Structure 1
Amino acid sequence: MTLPFTLLITPLAADAPDDGSWFAGTFTEVDASEPALRVSELSTQRGDGVFETLAVVNGHAQEVQPHLARLARSAEICDLPAPNLAQWSAAVSTAVQAIPDHGELAIKLVLSRGVENGPSPTAWLHASAARDFGPVRQSGVRVVTLDRGYDRGVAERAPWLLLGAKTLSYAVNMAALREAHRRGADDTIFVSSDGYVMEGPTSSVIIRHGDMFSTPAPSGAILHGTTQTSLFEYLERHGHAVSYRDISVEELRNADAAWLVSSVRLAVAITELDGAQVPVDAPLTQLFTEYLLSPRD
C-alpha cells in the first residue's frame, strides 16, 4: 500500500456492542487522490467538526488511546455524537497494518457533523508521510508572542467558543503562524489579554526553571496536550518535578529553557522569543526527542 492512505468510517454509536461483529463494513478505503466528500459537507463549509493527529513511528502508532480520549472530549464539547473508541482504534490499526514501514507518519482522524441536514456524521482517517522535522528538532524555533484577545477565564464564561476542543476551525491558528512569519519568526505562543501563557497554534508550551518543569494550568481555554502529558510522565519517572500552573509572560521570558511540543514535530527548543535569545538545553532536547520517538502507548 502506498501513501497517502484514506479510510472513510461509518460511525458506530458509542455504546455499540463490542462482540466482534461490528467491524465488518465500517471502513471503506478510498483513493486519496479522488474526491470523497460532498460540497455540502459541514467540515469544509464551516469547519464544523473535530480532529486528532497522531504519529506513527516505525510501524507503531503513538498514544492512540490518549488521542481518542481527547477526540471524544472534543466531540462532547461540540455536541457531536460520541465516537465509538473501539471502532476508531481499529481504524488506526487497519491503517498501520496496511501501510509499509515508512519511518515517521502522521494519521489524522476527523469527525464532522456531516452533510447539511444529513442523518449522520461524517468520519475519516487519512495517513501520510510526516514532514522531515529532523532539522528543526536540532536547530529549534524562533517564537513571537501574540495576544489571543481574551483573558484566562473566557472559556468558563463563554463555552460556545469551544476553546477546549480540537476543532477543524483552524483559520485563526494559521493566521497566527503567518503573522509570526511576517515578524521573522517560525512559530508563535498565544498569551491571554491578562498576560499569561496559553499555547501555540499547534503545540503545547513547557518551560524549565532549575529542575522544575512547568506548563500552563489545564483550563477550558487550553487544549490539553498528549505529548506534553507524556513528557511530564517521563520527567517524573526520572526524578524531575513538574507543575501545572499559571505562567506569566515574564516567567516565560526568564526561563532556563523552553519548548514547543506536539505529536508529530515532537519537542523543539525555543531559541528566540520576541527577538531576544532564549537559553537552550540541547542535551535535554535530544533526550526528549529520543523518548518521543520510542514506542509509546
Structure 2
Amino acid sequence: MGSTFLVWCTRTTSASPWTIFSMARKCYTRSSRGSVPMVIDFHTHIRRNEGSPADFVAEMDRLGIDKAVVAALIPPTPELGDGSNEYTCEVVQRYPDRLIGFACVMPMERNAPDQLEYWVTQKGFKGLKLHPPIQNFAPNDPVTYPVIRKAIELDIPILYHTGPIYVRSARQTYGDPNLLDELALTFPEAKIVGAHCDPLGWLPAIAGKHPNLYMDTSVHFPDRCQLIPGLGEMILTRATSGISSLADKTLFGSDANPTYGLKRFEQNVEPLRNLQVSDEIKRKVLGLNAARLLKLEVTDEGGSDDY
C-alpha cells in the first residue's frame, strides 16, 4: 500500500520520492504526538565533515523536535572542528522548514556589523551566536558594541555562551554570566540570550532582572535538575520583578553537536518534558518563547509560519 501510494505521488506531482517521504514522515511524527505545540531547540551546532545533516534531522524527528537553531563557531579550533557560516547556510537551505541559521562573526573586527547584516538580510539568518571564551572577548567590551547595535537594528537575538568551557585556549573569565548583566543595562533594546543556564548559578537571577535577557537550558539545566528533585520546578515558577515567572524567559536548548553527538537532543529535551509543571509552562519553555524571539507564528497544530 505504502509503495503504491509513493509511486502514485511521484507520477502525479513534481516532488521527488525523498521529498514525499520526508513530508509523510513529518506528518506522521506530529500526528503521533497529538496536539503538541511546536518544539524549538534554540542551541545546536553542525560542522562540515562531521556528522550527517540527514541524521541530525532524523534525530529531531524521532524526538518530536520541530525546529533547531544551528550555528558555527568562528574561528574554528582544533577541538571544535571546521565551522563556517557558509556551511550553516548550505545545511539550512537543505532543510529550510526544520533548521534556522544563526550567524557567527568575530565581534571585535571592524567589518563584523557588515558581515552580520549580509547573513541576515541576504541569507535569511535569524540571529547571532557569540562565544566570548573561545573568541577571546568580554561581552561588555565596548569594542563589540557596533555589532550589538547592528543586531538591535536587525531586530535579532544574540546567543552568548556562558559558563564553563573545556577548550584549553579559551578564557573562562569571559563566560561569566554577570558580564551579561552589564550588557543588558547598556543595551535595553538588545535581545540577549545566555546559554547553558545553571539553575544554581547567577543566570536565573540576571534573566529575571532584565526584560530583554533570556536563558537557554542546554546541558547544565537538565543535569542539575535531575540531580536535585524539584529544582527545575522551583526555578520555572519563581516570580521575578516585571514578569510573571522565569518560565517566560527560558528557552529549550540542547547544544547537540558533532563533538558530543546527537545524544544531547534526548538528554536535554526529555528532562524538560518530565518536569512537574503546568502544560502552559512546558509550552513556553519548549517552543513558544523561542518562537516569539525568532518571530515565528505557532499554529494550533504545532506547526509554524514566518510572520
Asked if TM exceeds 0.5, the reply is no
Higher strand share: 1
- Normalising by structure 1, what TM-score? 0.27
Higher helix share: 2
- Normalising by structure 2, what TM-score? 0.26
